[in-house]
């Protein structure tokens, strides 16, 4: 019986494995790919690790630091291991069934740290109609093709979505000599981190805000896409449509936490985050199953993903020591105005907690308040693309009754 | 001397004809297909139903009326012999208004004439017993238990594999350019891959059957494409247990609500007539999809949010002049048999169409057919890792570790499944590696993520097994390659 079985060998799973091992737990790490690292090996651009390692690394470098530790610490792990099923046998025993080239295996653990990442939304989910032809890729798929396997997908590209992956792929295509004809963004503001939005200026790539791609046409391969303008309610403005000729359409329309297996065993899901409901130790509503990284909520920085992995490992440790997380009166953390995504959902006041949040819309000169505990922060600007990570100290939390609300409001001028 | 038969079109009709003709010792059967794989025309996108045979008026459409019920009965045999995925879950034609019952009675009467067994008009109570989650305002329905569903392309593939095993020669990526006729008799088919001699030519060219027929001077019919659009939802969305039809209108059987055999809720199709030039127009449209949505909601009010759609698609039905199937030996050209206008219920009728063609060859062409001593009616289905019991899976993995390597996350398709698919593609003669060939054989790429994780992995396996560069693997045949070259190809200026 393992102390913890970690599902997923991306940054959350790797960090969780290293931390859990250092805490003295018996760890098994399972990853479905041929190599550890999750999507990091294909993220060959810099920008990783500034918070965590205090230096700027590429994705492969960031992954390498953890993988080295995995090997040095002799952490038991399988690659090519795909988890078929999780069974919550009892609060203290969990079964994980996985498939590998060695066969279908069953392993038992006291806890599970679920770090299975996210998937990308695809063209059908965002309502694109027309021909089903070659040349339509999700951004991550194109990234895998180019940066792992060295394949050039196409030469004239339109990108749907100005999130970080879309913007980074805009640069990637431009650097390899392709013409990036447009980035199309539904919202009236760009979706990515400021440093990535700069890419568009650097490479003279037009950005269409408040626009969407509605149709693809082509015979064998994409030949053109239709773009329309939307109003402030995201309704299409009739007569605003125009066509852009291209051979490649990249869909970068956001990520969805990969929680199929958790849903199957009844973990409660927060519909706004897309990931499970968790307490401050990142334990789901199923005792002993912890979650970290993009399976919990979509993060903007890998550093936070690693941090969540470590926190889940601490949670597993506490769970094992106490035969379950001790019962207590949980304080509910609630969304107030302009808060779209928020985790964790329950906090105790027994320890300092980082809360992760995203706003619904950008705002300048902002007050972030927690009225029940009379905490207030001021920020020059908040954007949906940039996650807010705010520390609530134990003694602050203790001032609350049943709940604490997070509000993001315009500050007085 | 063997009689050489060339069948144009490896869709469900052509494939079924090839299989049945492969029973005969004195026939040499060539199956000709312009696409890179079989079943990629009309057969690829449809409602996948094996209809009951009750709605075709025998006065107006005698062929449809006769062959549909006959085909239904044959499919019950064929799915067993060929291990084709299927489910016999029955259909309900739902009455939402009092006046609909009159139409249902008409259908019952027509079904009785066509020989459809076990139909019954059910009242509201029985209706909701059969299908608890229907629109609560439904009043009753016509229950047709012999209706079922199959995988249409898996069916074409199964039939072709069996036909090839019995000696049929499949010519893929072979486009018919002309037909040679001498002295009022067919002599063979001119193609991009040379001339194929033939004593009998069977035109099962789907949407293009009118153009093929014109090549021998028979031009008394035209084929119009009629487009139907569909939505498919994610696997955890609850769908009906039965196939649900609305009460039909003169033009169409109406938008069906069903749980297709892979377990996904599917709604469609509408019916939009296109000009005859638009035989390649498979584009989905906002208007068409909206129409389907609205109509499906009348039967099934609990449609999921739009974000739960994993796929929309469109199919074309070949609508012939006159509306009935055109299955006949052409008198002006000896040896030319039209199997044209195979619109709905074409999938259901296909096995019966094949036996009809045998009859035509015997009766109208006067060819004495000699049955083979040993004809193999069976074909084994492909391994699906996701359907195996754990012990069986482990046995398989021990022999071949690739069966333990999951490639498609959503549908749990293993590398072993994919290698088996490739072996089968090579067996029938697929030359151009394509992701769609793997998709239709294994279900990889057809789940929640629609292949964004596994397409590249599948392409790598195809590239390795076919010995081609990764970027030359196609989505669905030549012209749909997944890349334009290696990642530096543009910087080197090799592509304009």
- State yes or no: is B51 an active-site residue: yes
Tell me the residues of chain B between 289 and 318 that have a Cβ less than 8 Å away from chain A. 289, 306-307, 309-313
Give the C-alpha separation, A293 to A301, whole Å.
10
Which residue in A84, A130, A153 is closest to B412 by CB distance? A84
Q: What pLDDT, in 10s, does the model give residues A26-67? A: 999 999 999 999 999 999 999 999 999 999 999 999 999 999
Query: Which residue reads 């919550």 in tokens?
Result: A88
Angle at B101 between CA B97 and CA B105, to 5 degrees: 165
Angle at B276 between CA B270 and CA B281, to 5 degrees: 55
CB contacts < 8 A (A, B): 146
Query: Which residue reads 């990036």 in tokens?
Result: A180
- What CA dihedral angle connects A127, A130, A135 and A137, to 10 degrees? 10
Confirm if A348 and A330 have CB atoms less than 8 A apart.
yes
- pLDDT over threshold 60, residue A413: no
Q: Which tokens is A21 given?
A: 């091992």
ipTM of the complex: 0.96
- pLDDT over threshold 90, residue A113: yes
Q: What pLDDT, in 10s, does the model give residues A139-155? A: 999 999 999 999 999 99
Q: Residue B356 has what pLDDT? A: 98
* CATH superfamily entry for domain B1-84+151-222+321-380: FAD/NAD(P)-binding domain (3.50.50.60)
Q: Do B475 and A133 touch (CB under 8 A)?
A: yes
Q: Do B398 and A214 touch (CB under 8 A)?
A: no
Q: What is the residue-averaged pLDDT of chain A?
A: 97
Residue of B282, B291, B309, B406 to mutate for A, most A C-beta atoms under 10 A: B406
Q: Are strands A27-30 and A76-78 parallel, antiparallel or unpaired?
A: parallel
Q: What pLDDT, in 10s, does the model give residues B74-93? A: 999 999 999 999 999 999 99
Q: What pLDDT, in 10s, does the model give residues B413-457? A: 999 999 999 999 999 999 999 999 999 999 999 999 999 999 999
Confirm if A4 and A20 have CB atoms less than 8 A apart.
yes
Query: Which residue reads 């653990």 in tokens?
Result: A109
* Other residues' Cβ atoms within 10 Å of the Cβ of residue A46: 14
Give the C-alpha separation, A193 to A196, whole Å.
5
> Would you mind telling me the total number of residues written for chain B in this entry?
496
Q: What distance, in Å, lies between the first and last C-alpha atoms of chain A?
A: 59
- pLDDT over threshold 80, residue A412: no
As to burial, measured by CB atoms within 10 angstroms (0-12 exposed, 13-18 middle, 19+ buried), residue A160 is buried
Instruction: Give me the mean pLDDT over the B192-216 stretch.
Output: 98
Q: What percent of chain A has pLDDT over 70?
A: 100
Q: Residue B132 has what pLDDT? A: 94
Q: What pLDDT, in 10s, does the model give residues B7-52? A: 999 999 999 999 999 999 999 999 999 999 999 999 999 999 999 9
Residue of A82, A104, A241, A271 to mutate for B, most B C-beta atoms under 10 A: A104
Task: Name the nearest CA neighbour of A141 among A48, A39, A274, A294.
Answer: A39
Q: Would you list the domain boundaries of chain B?
A: 1-84+151-222+321-380, 385-495
* Other residues' Cβ atoms within 10 Å of the Cβ of residue B331: 10
Q: Residue B1 has what pLDDT? A: 84
Task: Name the nearest CA neighbour of B248 among B324, B315, B344.
Answer: B344
Please report which helix (H) or strand (E) contains residue A158, including its range.
strand A156-160
Q: Write the DSSP string, A179-205.
A: EEEEEE-SSSS--S-HHHHHHHHHTT-
Q: Residue B195 has what pLDDT? A: 98
Instruction: Give me the mean pLDDT over the B311-327 stretch.
Output: 97
Q: Residue B253 has what pLDDT? A: 84
Confidence of residue B250 (pLDDT cuts 50, 70, 90): confident
Q: What pLDDT, in 10s, does the model give residues B156-194? A: 999 999 999 999 999 999 999 999 999 999 999 999 999
Task: Flag whether residue B481 sits within 8 Å of chain A, measured between CB atoms.
Answer: yes
Q: Which residues 6+ apart lie within 8 Å of B65 measured at CB?
A: B53, B56, B57, B58, B110, B113, B114
Chain B residue numbers touching A139 (CB-CB < 8 A): none
Chain B residue numbers touching A150 (CB-CB < 8 A): 470, 486-487
Among chain A residues, CA nearest to B308: A125
Q: Residue B204 has what pLDDT? A: 98
Q: Do A125 and B312 touch (CB under 8 A)?
A: no
Instruction: Give me the mean pLDDT over the B253-265 stretch.
Output: 95
Confidence of residue A137 (pLDDT cuts 50, 70, 90): very high
Q: What pLDDT, in 10s, does the model give residues A357-368? A: 999 999 999 999
- pLDDT over threshold 60, residue A119: yes
Q: Which tokens is B270 given?
A: 């509408």
Catalytic annotation, pick one of B30, B51, B86, B264: B51
Instruction: Calculate the CA A92 to chain-centre distance.
Output: 28
Q: Are strands B169-171 and B27-32 parallel, antiparallel or unpaired?
A: parallel
Q: Do B486 and A214 touch (CB under 8 A)?
A: no
Q: Residue A411 has what pLDDT? A: 85
Q: Do B449 and A119 touch (CB under 8 A)?
A: yes
Cis bond before residue A344 (omega within 30° of 0): yes
Q: What pLDDT, in 10s, does the model give residues B291-304? A: 999 999 999 999 99
Q: What is the residue-averaged pLDDT of chain B?
A: 96
Closest approach of A323 to chain B, Cα-based (Å): 31
Which residue in B236, B406, B455 is closest to A99 by CB distance? B406
Q: What pLDDT, in 10s, does the model give residues A252-310? A: 999 999 999 999 999 999 999 999 999 999 999 999 999 999 999 999 999 999 999 99
Q: Do B456 and A149 touch (CB under 8 A)?
A: yes
Q: Residue B72 has what pLDDT? A: 98
Q: Residue B14 has what pLDDT? A: 98
Q: What distance, in Å, lies between the first and last C-alpha atoms of chain B?
A: 54
Instruction: Give me the mean pLDDT over the B254-268 stretch.
Output: 96
- pLDDT over threshold 70, residue B219: yes
Residue A384: phi and psi, rounded to 5, are -60, -30
Q: Do A176 and B488 touch (CB under 8 A)?
A: yes
Q: What percent of chain B has pLDDT over 70?
A: 100
Q: Do B477 and A84 touch (CB under 8 A)?
A: no
Q: Is B421 helix (H, G, I), strand (E, B) or coil?
A: helix
């Amino acid at each position: 019986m393992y102390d913890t079985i970690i599902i997923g060998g991306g940054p959350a799973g790797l960090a969780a494995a290293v931390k859990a091992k250092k805490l003295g737990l018996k760890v098994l790490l399972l990853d479905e790919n041929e190599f550890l690292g999750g999507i990091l090996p294909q993220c060959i651009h810099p920008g990783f690790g500034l918070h965590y390692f205090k230096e700027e690394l590429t994705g492969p470098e960031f992954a390498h630091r953890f993988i080295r530790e995995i090997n040095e610490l002799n952490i038991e792990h399988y690659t090519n291991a795909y988890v078929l099923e999780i069974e919550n046998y009892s609060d203290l025993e969990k079964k994980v069934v996985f498939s590998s080239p060695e066969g279908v295996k069953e392993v038992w653990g006291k806890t599970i740290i679920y770090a299975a990442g996210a998937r990308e939304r695809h063209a059908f989910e965002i309502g694109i109609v027309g021909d089903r032809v070659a040349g339509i890729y999700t951004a991550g798929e194109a990234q895998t093709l180019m940066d792992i396997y060295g394949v050039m997908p196409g030469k004239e590209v339109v990108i749907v979505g100005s999130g970080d992956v879309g913007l980074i792929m805009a640069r990637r295509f431009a650097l390899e000599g392709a013409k990036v004809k447009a980035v199309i963004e539904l919202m009236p503001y760009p979706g990515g981190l400021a440093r990535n939005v700069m890419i568009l200026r650097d490479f003279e790539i037009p950005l269409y805000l408040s626009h969407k791609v509605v149709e693809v046409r082509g015979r064998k391969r994409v030949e053109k896409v239709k773009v329309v303008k939307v109003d402030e309610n995201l309704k299409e403005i009739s007569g605003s449509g125009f066509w852009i000729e291209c051979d490649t359409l990249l869909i970068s329309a956001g990520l969805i936490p990969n929680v199929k297996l958790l849903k199957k065993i009844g973990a409660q899901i927060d519909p706004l985050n897309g990931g499970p409901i968790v307490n401050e130790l990142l334990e789901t509503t199923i005792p002993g199953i912890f979650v970290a990284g993009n399976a919990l909520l979509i993060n903007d920085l890998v550093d936070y993903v690693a941090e969540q992995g470590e926190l889940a490992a601490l949670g597993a440790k506490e769970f094992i020591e106490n035969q379950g997380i001790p019962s207590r009166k949980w304080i509910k953390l609630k969304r107030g105005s302009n808060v779209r995504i928020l985790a964790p959902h329950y906090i105790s006041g027994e320890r300092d907690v980082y809360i992760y949040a995203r706003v619904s819309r950008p705002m300048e000169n902002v007050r972030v308040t927690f009225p029940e505990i009379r905490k207030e922060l001021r920020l020059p600007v908040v954007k949906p693309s940039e996650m807010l990570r705010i520390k609530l100290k134990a003694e602050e939390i203790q001032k609350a009754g049943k709940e604490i609300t997070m509000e993001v409001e315009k500050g007085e001028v | 001397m063997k009689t050489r038969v060339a069948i144009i079109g490896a869709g469900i009709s052509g494939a079924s004809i090839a299989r049945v003709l492969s029973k005969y010792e004195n026939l040499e059967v060539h199956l000709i297909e312009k696409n890179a794989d079989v079943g990629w025309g009309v057969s690829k996108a449809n409602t996948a139903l094996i209809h009951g045979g009750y709605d075709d008026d025998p006065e107006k459409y005698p062929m449809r009326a006769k062959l549909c019920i006959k085909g239904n009965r044959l499919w019950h045999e064929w799915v067993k012999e060929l291990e084709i995925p299927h489910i016999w879950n029955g259909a309900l034609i739902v009455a939402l208004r009092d006046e609909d019952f009159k139409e249902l009675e008409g259908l019952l009467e027509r079904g009785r004439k066509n020989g459809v067994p076990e139909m019954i008009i059910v009242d509201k109570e029985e209706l909701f017993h059969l299908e608890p989650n229907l629109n609560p305002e439904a009043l009753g329905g016509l229950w047709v238990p012999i209706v079922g569903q199959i995988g249409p392309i898996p069916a074409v593939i199964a039939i072709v594999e069996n036909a090839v095993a019995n000696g049929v020669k499949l010519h893929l990526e072979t486009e018919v350019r002309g037909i040679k006729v001498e002295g009022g008799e067919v002599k063979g088919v001119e193609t991009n891959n040379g001339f194929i001699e033939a004593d009998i030519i069977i035109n099962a060219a789907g949407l293009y059957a009118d153009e093929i027929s014109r090549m021998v001077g028979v031009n008394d019919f035209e084929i119009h494409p009629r487009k139907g659009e569909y939505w498919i939802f994610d696997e955890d969305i609850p769908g009906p247990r039965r196939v649900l039809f609305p009460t039909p209108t003169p033009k169409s059987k109406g938008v069906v609500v069903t749980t297709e055999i892979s377990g996904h809720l599917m709604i469609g199709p509408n019916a939009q007539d296109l000009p005859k030039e638009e035989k390649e127009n498979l584009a989905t449209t906002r208007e068409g999809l909206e129409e389907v949505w609205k109509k499906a909601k009348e039967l099934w009010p609990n449609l999921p949010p739009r974000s739960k759609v994993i796929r929309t698609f469109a199919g074309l039905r070949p609508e012939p002049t006159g509306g009935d199937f055109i299955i006949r030996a052409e008198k002006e050209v000896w040896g030319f048999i039209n199997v044209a206008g195979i619109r709905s219920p074409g999938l259901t009728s296909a096995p019966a169409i094949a036996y009809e063609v045998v009859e035509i060859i015997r009766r109208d062409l006067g060819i004495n057919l000699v049955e083979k001593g040993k004809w193999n009616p069976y074909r084994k289905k492909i391994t699906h890792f996701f359907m195996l019991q754990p012990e069986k899976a482990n046995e398989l993995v021990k022999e071949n570790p690739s069966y333990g390597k999951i490639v498609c996350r959503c549908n749990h398709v293993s590398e072993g499944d994919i290698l088996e698919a490739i072996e089968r593609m090579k067996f029938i003669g697929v030359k151009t590696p394509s992701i769609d060939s793997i998709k239709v054989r294994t279900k990889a790429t057809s789940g929640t993520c629609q292949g964004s994780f596994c397409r590249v992995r599948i392409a790598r396996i195809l590239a390795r097994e076919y010995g081609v560069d990764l970027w030359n693997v196609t989505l669905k045949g030549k012209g749909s390659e997944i890349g334009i070259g290696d990642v530096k190809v543009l910087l080197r200026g090799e592509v304009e």
